[in-house]
Amino acid sequence: MHNIIDTYRQMGFTTALDDLGKGHANLDLLVDLRPDKLKIDRALVMDCHQDTRRQVLLKAVVDIARQLEIDLVAEGIECREEARWLHEEAGIVQHQGFYYARPAFEALPPIHGFAAS
């Protein structure tokens, strides 16, 4: 995996670690893979505006990311209150989720030779 990531970096690509806070996306991967971006899973984001335990964990992730110079993306934002707390209280400015837009694969223009199914 290190060789693949190093090769991508040499080609000008950046790497992201997806689903931090869920399953196999563990903190040891930050040491081993050195990603450029961390995507924080919905499991940590959900109800963050009213859940003190999630707030503490998210602020710790923000601190780690800042010290390691890793950008953060909060995934799974479903309401304005989550988005505001993440931006204003945690300082996470990159967001994605249903609050902003629903997936719209069908709305993409067709690519020559490929059809949406």
| Helix/strand/coil for 60 | helix
* Beta strand segments in 10-101, E: 16-20, 37-40, 71-74, 94-95
Looking at the domain assignment, is residue 94 inside a domain? Answer: yes
Q: What is the CATH number of the domain that holds 69?
A: 3.20.20.450
State if pTM tops 0.85.
Answer: no
Looking at the domain assignment, is residue 32 inside a domain? Answer: yes
**For each of the chain's 117 residues, which pLDDT tens digit applies?**
888 888 999 999 999 988 887 766 577 788 888 899 999 999 999 999 999 999 999 999 999 999 999 999 999 999 999 999 999 999 999 999 999 998 877 777 777 765 555
Question: How far apart are alpha carbons 100 and 15 in whole angstroms?
Answer: 23
For the chain, what is the domain count? 1
Query: For residue 115, how many other CB atoms are within 10 A of its CB?
Result: 6
Looking at the domain assignment, is residue 2 inside a domain? Answer: no
Q: Point out which residues pair with 39 in neighbouring strands.
A: 73
Looking at the domain assignment, is residue 72 inside a domain? Answer: yes
Domain that holds residue 82: 14-102
Question: How far apart are alpha carbons 115 and 117 in whole angstroms?
Answer: 6
Looking at the domain assignment, is residue 54 inside a domain? Answer: yes
Looking at the domain assignment, is residue 80 inside a domain? Answer: yes
